Amino acid sequence: MSPMPILLYTANWCRDCREAKRFLEKHNIAYLEVDIESTPGAAEEVVRNVGKRAIPQFVIDGKWVQPYRPGYGFLYEEMSELLGVAI
């Protein structure tokens, strides 16, 4: 488990965001959700750090990580390895 809670940039209409939350909750990984629709400046923060308005985004110890790939969905294997949990 990460020493600090993961920031998870999301929006309530985002199916991939719901999957990212389920993954974190399944593995009891602490996270703080930042809704880009209701948090002032959050969408701009995503664009500033990843170059586009793409969610979900994890911020793990200051590093931005996109936990899905368009056309492939949530990256279970990669995220499990990164976070040290079983698939």
Query: Model-level pTM?
Result: 0.91
> For residue 8, what is the enclosing H or E element?
strand 6-10
The owner of tokens 């399944």 is: 26
Residue-level pLDDT at 3:
61
CATH code that applies to domain 6-83: 3.40.30.10
φ, ψ of residue 33 to 5 degrees: the values are: -90, 135
pLDDT confidence of residue 1:
47
pLDDT value for 17: 96
- Cα(81)–Cα(69) distance, rounded to whole angstroms? 16
Residues 6+ apart with CB under 8 A from 53: 36, 43, 46, 47
Show me where the domains of the chain are located.
Answer: 6-83
Mean pLDDT split into 10-residue runs, the chain, 87 residues: 79 96 96 97 97 95 94 94 92
